[in-house]
A and B are shown apart, each in its own frame.
Chain A
Amino acid sequence: MAMRVDQILCLKMYEQMLTIRLFEEKAIELFEHNLIRGNIHPCIGQEAVSVGICSALRQEDYMVNTHRGHGNCIAKGAQLKRMMAELLGKSTGYCKGKGGSMHIADFEGGNLGANGIVGGGLPIAVGAGISIQNRGTDQVAACFFGDGATNQGTFHESLNLAAIWKLPVIFVCENNQYALSTPIREAISISRISDRAAAYGISGMSLDGNDVIEVYTKTKEAVERARAGNGPALLDCITYRFFGHFTGDPGRGITYRSKEEMDHWLDRCPIKNFKERLLQEKILTEEIEKRIRDKIKTALEEAVQFAIESPSPSPEEAAQDVFY
Chain B
Amino acid sequence: MSIRELTNTEAMAEALKEEMTKDPSVFIIGEDLVAHGGIFGQFVGLPQAFPGRVIDTPISETAIVGAGLGAALTGMRPFVDLHFADFTTCAMDEIANQVAKIRYMFGGQVRIPLVIWAPDGAGLSAAAHHSQSLEAWFIHTPGLKVVSPCNPSDVKGLIKTSLRDDDPILFFMHKKIFSRKGPVPEEEYFVPLGKADIKRNGTDVTVITYSIMVLHALEAAEQLEKEGISVEVLDLRTLWPMDWEMIAQSVSKNHRVVVAHEACLTGGFGAEVAARIQEELFDELDAPILRVGAFRVPIPFSPPMERFVIPGRDSVIKAIYKILGKEAN
* Interface 0/1 of A268-305, CB less than 8 Å to B: 00000000000000000000000000000000000000
Q: With A117-B98, A120-B93 in contact, do A127 and B69 touch (Cβ < 8 Å)? A: yes
A128–B143 Cα distance when bound, in Å, is 21
Cβ–Cβ contact A131 & B75, under 8 A: yes
New A-B contacts (19) at CB < 8 Å, excluding given A127-B73, A131-B70, A135-B76: A94-B106, A95-B105, A99-B105, A103-B105, A107-B73, A107-B106, A117-B98, A120-B94, A123-B62, A123-B70, A124-B73, A127-B70, A127-B74, A127-B78, A134-B25, A154-B62, A161-B63, A322-B143, A323-B167
Chain B interface (Cβ within 8 Å of chain A)?
Answer: 25, 27, 29, 52-53, 55, 57-58, 60, 62-76, 78, 93-94, 97-98, 102-110, 142-143, 145, 167, 241
Find chain A residues with CB under 8 A from B63 CB: 122-123, 126, 154, 157-158, 160-161
Q: Which residue of B lies closest to A313 (CB)?
A: B107
Among B29, B73, B102, B103, which residue has its beta carbon within 8 angstroms of that of A128?
Answer: B73
CA distance A129 to B73 in the complex (A): 11
- The answer, yes or no, to whether A176 is at the interface (CB within 8 Å) is no
A-B pair count, CB < 8 Å, reads 140
Q: Report whether B71 and A134 are in contact in the complex, using a CB–CB cutoff of 8 Å.
A: yes
From the candidates B29, B74, B104, B110, name the one contacting A132 in the complex (CB within 8 A).
B74
Measured CB to CB, the residues of A under 8 A from B are: 62, 64, 93-99, 103, 105-107, 112-113, 115-117, 120, 122-132, 134-135, 141, 153-154, 157-158, 160-161, 164, 320-323
B143 adjacent to A99 (CB under 8 Å): no
Contact status A98-B105, CB under 8 Å: yes
A125/B70 in contact, CB under 8 A = yes
Residue pair A112, B70 in contact (C-beta under 8 Å) = yes
Roughly how many angstroms separate A185 CA and B56 CA in the complex, as a whole number? 37
Q: Which 10 A-B pairs have the closest CB atoms?
A: A127-B70, A123-B66, A321-B108, A95-B107, A157-B63, A96-B107, A127-B67, A124-B70, A131-B74, A105-B106
Q: Are B69 and A130 in touch, CB under 8 angstroms?
A: no
A98-B104 contact in complex given A123-B70, A131-B76, C-beta closer than 8 Å: yes
Residues of B within 8 A of A127 (CB): 66-74, 78
Residues of chain B lying within 8 A (CB to CB) of residue A323:
143, 145, 167, 241
